[in-house]
Structure 1
């Protein structure tokens, strides 16, 4: 039961009976809300606009009075004890002021204040809803959420820009980040690990903009991804073997395609007796092993000094005796250090990056290595890539919002100046079903990977039937 539900239950038990006068006011409130609000949802006339404006002003006035009283109470008491008394305060104010006995929704006012005090303001209900995977605040008057892969406009609004800024400050302050006009962008995380990006005016023209990528309270396992249709049981068996055989794996895909979720699942295949070092911009990898060291980059301070980049952390991690290095996202010069680590004995490393296909990921890695400022010929860079990375997992978010692993590709080596890639599994899309959902299946290509001998040398045996298509097997 949520905190708000507990509080409402507590108050219902605490005030099971009210006086006739108070009961009449409560019933009048509810009756008026039921009759007036639906009417206002119809075509707005000047008179209805005026009524709505008056209701909104009364709602704001009651909230302001409650807020002032809360500030006075907070001088002597802690937040939890005050939260338990907010509903009583609201009832008392309504009894003392006849102007609030009309169409004020007291419970809505109390809920908003509780969310401001104990959560993250108006968006707190969205963050508590497990069906919502992303929350997007586009200024104070527009809040979207993603539910089942689809974007939905909510009816949630903030008071003004200052209200949104207060919520952003509440998110970034506990982890030592800051946001202001001199530093108007920030990456942060919520206590549950959810990723937050915020950007404010003058860069954001519509007002403070917040994007929150939520994570499940209980991290997804490989069984969940199989049940979601992200991959098949055969692919899961294959990836489990690849991680345990210490192959270097790169997860690529577009924004919101589920790369981090897949990286989390792959990371959980790592044996418990290995030392894992994770490196991220904002910590979001959730591992279940005991021996995990989490590193997080640091932005520059207000003077522009003191920044610690992902590249700095990758270099430092090599001195920390890691068995595995897991990089949340490779997006710059750290690609060179990552490839060198993979080529110098740090097998079994995992990383993610943005791309539309495995071939595009190879091209992006070449570009990122060049960002390191080291003048290397393209062939030397490609040899580094082909020698370092064994498997590329391509993930996509399809038109119906579902997330699929669409390719598992082996990096086979160099032929001349070209890196040779070979698909091991691929997704064959067949169209849309009657519910407008993408119809397709994940199938093996019939090719056994070249590193199959490495799997066997590690004591891992995968049935050859995993790599054979059903129709070929039936023949």
Structure 2
């Protein structure tokens, strides 16, 4: 992001437009329609909410930009906040070239080099795109084998003539659709988004860290397209969705958590999904102190507790930042000990060298199914220093307290907004932990969402 900030200085929208034709086209159309020009902000920060009226463009991951706009009515009242994802678009001619290239790439895939990571796959795919296209400037000066004779011999030049700008756009779209996140790429590239909500064919809505709830220009226009996309995404993350199993939870490749509700008879307005985005890098305790989420004294207290092997629950309401806080405090544990984590969806980020990371496994076959309860039973035989549970929801809560009783400290997240509600949930169905067992829990952290000074939201312990 630092390189991008140096490349385009704040306020210099002209340079952005010169480097990115799709941004230039968007700005010109916007000016013609609304009579105002957006301000280029650069990488977004929380001070951006001070800019009024709201009409700014910020960079996420080049070549993707975001335009934030809040229209003002004639009476001075403000409308809903709009989020426009700006990414390269293909013309009809370029779309035909894309289809042809995809066919060629699929034909050549068996002979392509093997790969183990998405980055390697991206480099291979990018090289193949270069190999099967030729720039118009090169084509004018090259002797190309074309014609029926060369075609019969299988030696004709099949490269497609494109401009440099066309090749860049084609490269972006092909890699976006085959490796990354397809039409959701602009959303998932924006680190300022917390939750992404899609219901049927409606426009996607998001919870923004700076501007609150916003409405995007991204939507699925056909149910079949939406259904195919969700099937492909669920298969990619190893949790295939279907009419027989319409609800699944999983993790995307970047660590974001996704919940899909697929079947029309369950999700009445059409297939829907929610994505909880997580920062690419773990947020540190010092950053939480800087934001005011916790005080330095609270952080020091947690440090002492974890250093001496005490059990803790990080509790709060939905989207209160429980997992973020849990990940931030894990470095307080001695780095020379074994950590054992058990999760439904992999969200915990542990920096320790000895980390046994396990996740549950769904299966129609009961013998093949691995549930949280099974993982926690296995933990008791693994001799970890700490057992980390991504989230306690059901009967595994009783096993967590049994682990505490046997001398295995536990760290977990839990949905409850107060100590009273936490005890009520633990002692009731389906967890059923006897209240006399609660002295095994050393302390709990309660986190909540509050309105931040100057607008927006903040998390507080």
User: Could you say whether these structures have the same fold, taking a TM-score greater than 0.5 normalized by the shorter chain as the test?
Assistant: yes
TM-score bucket of the superposed structures, by smaller chain: 0.5 to 0.7
2:177 paired residue among 92, 111, 116: 116
Say if 2:430 is the partner of 1:398: no
Say if 2:355 is the partner of 1:292: yes
Q: Give the root-mean-square deviation of aligned CA atoms.
A: 3.7
Instruction: Write the distance in 2 (CA, Å) between the matches of 1:195 and 1:298.
Output: 16
**Alpha-carbon distance, 1:399 to partner:** 3.4
Relative to 1, partners in 2 of residues 1:399 and 1:195: Cα closer, same or farther, differing over 3 Å? same
Relative to 1, partners in 2 of residues 1:148 and 1:439: Cα closer, same or farther, differing over 3 Å? closer
Figure out how many residues of one structure are paired with residues of the other and give that number.
349
Say if 2:436 is the partner of 1:383: yes
CA contact (8 A) 1:171 1:188 kept: no
Instruction: Write the distance in 2 (CA, Å) between the matches of 1:133 and 1:439.
Output: 12
CA contact (8 A) 2:293 2:459 kept: no
Relative to 1, partners in 2 of residues 1:269 and 1:165: Cα closer, same or farther, differing over 3 Å? farther
2:257 paired residue among 179, 187, 195: 195
Instruction: Give runs of aligned pairs for residues 180-329 of structure 1, distance below 5 A.
Output: 180-202=242-264, 203-301=266-364, 306-329=368-391
Instruction: Give runs of aligned pairs for residues 55-454 of structure 1, distance below 5 A.
Output: 61-62=92-93, 64-74=95-105, 75-76=107-108, 79-84=125-130, 111-148=172-209, 150-202=212-264, 203-301=266-364, 306-346=368-408, 348-368=409-429, 370-371=430-431, 381-385=434-438, 387-400=439-452, 433=453, 435-436=454-455
**Alpha-carbon distance, 1:394 to partner:** 0.5
1:296-348 CA distance string (max 9 Å, x none): 011223x67632211111111111111111101001011111111111211x3
SS at match of 2:451: coil
Relative to 1, partners in 2 of residues 1:193 and 1:31: Cα closer, same or farther, differing over 3 Å? closer
CA contact (8 A) 1:139 1:208 kept: yes
**Alpha-carbon distance, 1:118 to partner:** 2.8
1:362-391 CA distance string (max 9 Å, x none): 1111114x556xxxxxxx801112x22111
1:7-65 CA distance string (max 9 Å, x none): xxxxxxxxxxxxxxxxxxxx9x99987766655679xxxxxxxxxxxxxxx97854652
**Alpha-carbon distance, 1:273 to partner:** 1.6
**Alpha-carbon distance, 1:265 to partner:** 1.5
Relative to 1, partners in 2 of residues 1:32 and 1:236: Cα closer, same or farther, differing over 3 Å? closer
**Alpha-carbon distance, 1:213 to partner:** 1.5
1:78-99 CA distance string (max 9 Å, x none): 53335557997999xxxxxxxx
Relative to 1, partners in 2 of residues 1:84 and 1:356: Cα closer, same or farther, differing over 3 Å? farther
Instruction: Write the distance in 1 (CA, Å) between the matches of 2:259 and 2:458.
Output: 33
Instruction: Write the distance in 1 (CA, Å) between the matches of 2:174 and 2:136.
Output: 11
Relative to 1, partners in 2 of residues 1:35 and 1:288: Cα closer, same or farther, differing over 3 Å? closer
Instruction: Write the distance in 1 (CA, Å) between the matches of 2:390 and 2:26.
Output: 49
CA contact (8 A) 1:86 1:110 kept: no
1:420-470 CA distance string (max 9 Å, x none): xxxxxxxxxxxxx5x24689997xxxxxxxxxxxxxxxxxxxxxxxxxxxx
SS at match of 2:363: coil
Instruction: Write the distance in 2 (CA, Å) between the matches of 1:31 and 1:440.
Output: 38
Instruction: Write the distance in 2 (CA, Å) between the matches of 1:85 and 1:157.
Output: 34
TM-score by length of 2: 0.66
Instruction: Write the distance in 1 (CA, Å) between the matches of 2:330 and 2:23.
Output: 52
SS at match of 2:332: coil
SS at match of 1:186: strand
**Alpha-carbon distance, 1:165 to partner:** 3.5
Instruction: Write the distance in 1 (CA, Å) between the matches of 2:449 and 2:93.
Output: 45
TM-score by length of 1: 0.65
For structure 1, the 5+ residue unaligned runs are 3-26, 43-57, 92-104, 373-379, 401-432, 443-475
CA contact (8 A) 1:281 1:328 kept: yes
Relative to 1, partners in 2 of residues 1:83 and 1:358: Cα closer, same or farther, differing over 3 Å? farther
Which residue matches 1:468? none
Instruction: Write the distance in 2 (CA, Å) between the matches of 1:317 and 1:364.
Output: 24
Instruction: Write the distance in 1 (CA, Å) between the matches of 2:95 and 2:25.
Output: 22
Q: Find the structure with the greater CA-based Rg.
A: 1
SS at match of 1:271: coil
SS at match of 1:293: strand
1:201-242 CA distance string (max 9 Å, x none): 222223322222122221111101101110011111111111
Relative to 1, partners in 2 of residues 1:189 and 1:438: Cα closer, same or farther, differing over 3 Å? closer
